[in-house]
Amino acid sequence: MIVTQDRPLSAEFDLRLCFIQPQQCRPEFHDEIQIEMERLFGKGRGKTTWSAERKLAEGVDIAVVNVNGLTNAGSEEELLVHLESEMLSGCWDDLNGYTILVTQKISAGSCRLKTKRG
């Protein structure tokens, strides 16, 4: 997920999103999440991969989305601000938790990055 076009992709990010709604509340719940994730992280949207897993448990419909890739965000906060500016779907109302990690990298030669040390 690229935050701005004028900086190189100098970090890796891992994002986990957890969406929860009452079971049978909106039958299109999982499809809506899939469409939004493809719009945000699909082909042509930078060097990211994502997957979504649906779970049904005790009257709730749960979708867990894992996203990872390259970004030029300098921090978790910067990546979140960008993500919030791109949100269009109503599925975000069902977001119940997330984890995010942005790891800065330095160049280690042609086509290689390594973790930046203190």
Give the pLDDT band of residue 20 (cuts 50, 70, 90).
Answer: very high
Residue 67 is predicted with a pLDDT of 94
Query: What does residue 74 show for φ and ψ, rounded to 5 degrees?
Result: -85, -10
52: its two tokens: 């979504």
Q: Tell me which residue has tokens 């005790």.
A: 58
Rounded to two decimals, the pTM is 0.80
Taking the domains of the chain in order of start, what are their residue ranges?
Answer: 11-100
Q: Say yes or no to pLDDT of 30 above 60.
A: yes
Neighbour count for residue 101 (Cβ, 10 Å): 13
* pLDDT for residue 48: 87
Where does the pLDDT of residue 88 fall: very low under 50, low under 70, confident under 90, or very high at 90 and above? Answer: confident
Q: Which CATH number fits domain 11-100: 3.30.410, 3.40.50, 3.30.70, 3.90.1170?
A: 3.30.70
**Which tokens belong to 110?**
């042609």
Look at residue 19 in the predicted model and tell me its pLDDT: 95
How much is the average pLDDT of 69-79? Answer: 88
Residue 50: its pLDDT value, please?
Answer: 92
pLDDT of residue 41: 87
Distance from chain centroid for Cα 100: 8
C-beta atoms surrounding 13 within 10 Å:
19
